[in-house]
Structure 1
Amino acid sequence: MTTRTGFTYPEVGATRVGPLPRGYRHLHHRVAVGRGRADFEAAGAAVTGWRLHRRAGATMRTTAPRAEAGGAVEVSVGVGPLRLTAPCEVVWTAYEHARTGFAYGTLTGHPECGEEAFTVELADDGTVWFTVLAFSRPAAWYTRIGGPAVPVFQRGYARWLGRTLRGMVTAARRGA
């Protein structure tokens, strides 16, 4: 797999600076996954090192061991003939004192058109928040005919990622 460019939407980077562009479905899911610096570090490493997505059931092919701007990412879900493969490129990363994460944007061949960000933040009160922020619209015939089912799946997957990350943080705290 090689890094490639050719985003399928013009608003590259909008999940970092906002606002989310009009003409797309928007997704914003935020959930507490831990408390304190150690939980923040564990959550951030799981998100940017691809472990969260893999633990949640996605196959991730990447050009780097952790999220790096310009890196290629191929996300696959499903089995056999029902497997969907989605080529993306990492648009931006954040490796900051109280914020860690990345966003990837869709490339040609992705069933959707848009961008999705996954961030972990350490709030002033010590709460560790995980956020999925995205904008998308159908790009393939099957996502167009999927209609209202597609955003339901996306919201469900965002919630699943939050539950999975909370479990990973809890396991890391226990030394598992």
Structure 2
Amino acid sequence: MRRSNFEDQPVDYAAVGATQAADLMQYPPQGYVPAEDSIRLGSGRERYEAAASTLLSWGVQRDAGIDVHDVRPGSGNEYTGIQFDDEGNAVAPNRRHSEQRFAPDGSAFLDAGTTAKLRGKIGRYNLESKIRVVYLVENQNSTAFAYGTVSTAQMSGEESFMVELRDDDSVWFTVRSFMRPIGAKYRAFPPLGRARMTAIATAYMRALSPTWASPTT
């Protein structure tokens, strides 16, 4: 029998890894609301590497005002995600790092299978949930990870975060998600759930952007 405690509990939705789908905005998992926002962070390899380091050490969440605590590495048996080519075809499973890695400031990097608890307030929205990192993808010019909710009182689903260095040397940050309401008020008033998603994504982009500007959807 599978234990149902947090450390060994699967995410609470079925479409694990769907934030990687190229057509997420057109065909989200049934019953879920998709969202995607991007912002330019600057340009150059140095800016990309700094942003990627911040991303992988929970800097986006913490700088957005969210406390990331009870962080625990996975056991090594978790789903690590699939790599896709430019046309959205699955090509290979992601690698899992065998050793703990750290950012220049000493913060531990996350990895597929990492679990944590998030708690904070963004605008008028309280955020408290348990999450599991469901995939981590690191290439020469792009770094991305996603986590899914393990248990939550408000919204259930997946959020992904990607930093990429594009061919024109510009560095971009993209937040994608699909969520469905769990809390009673969000089920009763779906626009509140969409407003919550927008507010949280905006806070994430503001946290990573050195000079905040309006996002491009």
Paired amino acid for 1:24: Y
**1:8 alignment partner in structure 2:** 12
Which structure 1 residue ranges, 4+ long, deviate > 6 Å from structure 2? Answer: none
Return 35-44 or 134-143, whichever deviates more. 134-143
SS of 1:125's partner is coil
How far is the alpha carbon of 1:122 from its aligned partner?
0.6
Say if 1:88 and 1:106, in contact at 8 Å, map to a contact too: yes
Bigger radius of gyration: 2
User: TM-score when scaled to structure 2?
Assistant: 0.69
CA 1:158–1:40 in 2, change beyond 3 Å: closer, same or farther?
same
- Partner residue in 1 for 2:175: 132
Shift of 1:101: 1.9
Question: Of the candidates 67, 87, 90, which is equivalent to residue 59 of structure 1?
Answer: 67
Q: CA RMSD in A?
A: 2.2
Superposed displacement of residue 75, structure 1? 1.1
For 2:30, give the aligned amino acid. Answer: R
| Aligned counterparts of 1:67 and 1:141: Cα–Cα separation in 2 | 32
Aligned match of 2:48: 40
What's the CA shift string for 1:33-91, capped at 9, x where partnerless? 11010000011111110012101101112225222111102111139xx8541111000
Change (3 A) 1:108 1:156: closer
SS at match of 1:167: coil
Matched to 2:15, the amino acid is E
Q: 5+ unaligned residues in a row in structure 2: which ranges?
A: 74-107, 212-217
Cα drift, residue 105 of structure 1 = 0.6
Question: Which aligned pairs between 1:1-176 and structure 2 lie closer than 5 A?
Answer: 3-20=7-24, 21-61=29-69, 62-64=71-73, 65-78=108-121, 83-167=126-210
The 8 Å contact of residues 24 and 135 in structure 1, kept in 2 or not, is answered as yes
C-alpha distance in 2, partners of 1:150/1:47? 25
For the 8 Å contact 1:101–1:119, the answer to whether it is kept is yes
> Relative to total residues, which structure has the larger helix share, 1 or 2?
1
Q: Does structure 1 retain, via aligned residues, the 8 Å contact 2:164–2:172?
A: yes
Compare 66-75 and 156-165 and name the one that shifted more.
156-165
- One-letter amino acid matched to 1:35: S
In the alignment of these two chains, the number of paired residues is: 166
Q: Distance in 2 between matches of 1:18 and 1:133?
A: 11
